[in-house]
Amino acid sequence: MSLYRDTAVVLRVQKLGEADRIITLLSRRYGKLRAVAKGVRRTTSRFGARVEPFCHVDVQLYTGRTLDVITQVQTIDAFGVHIVDDYQRYTAACAVLETVDRLAAEEGEPVLRLYLLAVGALRALAGRERDASQVLDAFLLRAMAFAGWAPALTECARCGASGPHATFNVQGGGAVCPECRPAGSVRPSQHTLPLMEALLHGDWDAAEEAAGPVRREASGLIAAHLQWYMERQLRSLPLVERTVPELIRERAADAELVEAATDGR
């Protein structure tokens, strides 16, 4: 039996059998891991609460035939305690974990920078000192830089001409100059690309001065750019922009439609 130990972030969990779970982790030294936590769904489990999403843990495992097995877990940071009771922070944190899970595609491949980005984003969301949507946008921009997909913001994505440039094209790779501008380019506010640049490089003083419409426009461009290059949509991203009152109104509207359809019969 080969034992090993590492620090990790819990990305997701899924049921296995009657009492076990498969835990997907992003670890510091070994990258993404999938391991079995035996008996954690029982009320008598010693560490069931320590292997929930958003937990930052010190974990010991041994190598199994198909999946490794978790033998010990110690909590380093219980980020979830300060995230799950705030809808916007919870959905932003879900988007962080889903992005990490997608970008760390190969199990056992070290991705130290992505691990540090995930821990930093969860710590910022749990700390509640910064706007949740801006923390998420900063994480997504830096995660795209890690993956090699960072949008061009201060130079033309096609010819490299220095900016600032007034138009942005997702398929083209970011900001584009007038000579290179392809069809379908958008013209964001003059403050949007500087905001994205500030978030990418951690200039929070400049980022926090941005007005609400500029923040929303930047979030839309970042999400579109990420999903275009990832070639799939993230399920959690559409929920980030919604607020609890909006969800309540949507559910009420759905209920009214069902009631109207029932009365019509």
pLDDT at 46 over 80: no
Q: What pLDDT score does 204 carry?
A: 93
pLDDT at 250 over 50: no
Residue 202: left (phi > 0), alpha (psi -120 to 50), or beta?
left
Average pLDDT for 51-59 = 93
Q: What pLDDT score does 231 carry?
A: 80
Total Cβ atoms within 10 A of residue 256: 10
Q: What is the rounded average pLDDT for all residues in the chain?
A: 86
Q: What pLDDT score does 257 carry?
A: 52
Task: Categorize the per-residue pLDDT at 254 as very low, low, confident or very high, splitting at 50, 70 and 90.
Answer: very low
Q: What pLDDT score does 176 carry?
A: 92
Full-model pTM: 0.85
Q: Which of residues 2 and 115 earns the better pLDDT score?
A: 115
Q: What pLDDT score does 134 carry?
A: 94
pLDDT at 164 over 70: yes
pLDDT at 247 over 80: no
Largest CA distance in the chain: 67
Q: Which of residues 127 and 64 earns the better pLDDT score?
A: 127
Angstrom distance (rounded) from CA 73 to CA 49:
10
CA 114 to chain centre: 11
Q: What pLDDT score does 106 carry?
A: 83
Q: What pLDDT score does 28 carry?
A: 95
Q: Give the range among 45-49, 130-134, 214-218, 220-224 with minimum mean pLDDT.
A: 45-49
pLDDT at 55 over 80: yes
The percent of residues above 70 in pLDDT, for the chain, comes to 90
Average pLDDT for 95-114 = 91
Q: What pLDDT score does 107 carry?
A: 85
pLDDT at 252 over 70: no
Total Cβ atoms within 10 A of residue 123: 14
Q: What pLDDT score does 235 carry?
A: 85
Task: Categorize the per-residue pLDDT at 259 as very low, low, confident or very high, splitting at 50, 70 and 90.
Answer: low
CA 149 to chain centre: 15
Task: Categorize the per-residue pLDDT at 255 as very low, low, confident or very high, splitting at 50, 70 and 90.
Answer: low
* One-letter identity of residue 195: L
**Residue 49 per-residue DSSP state:** G
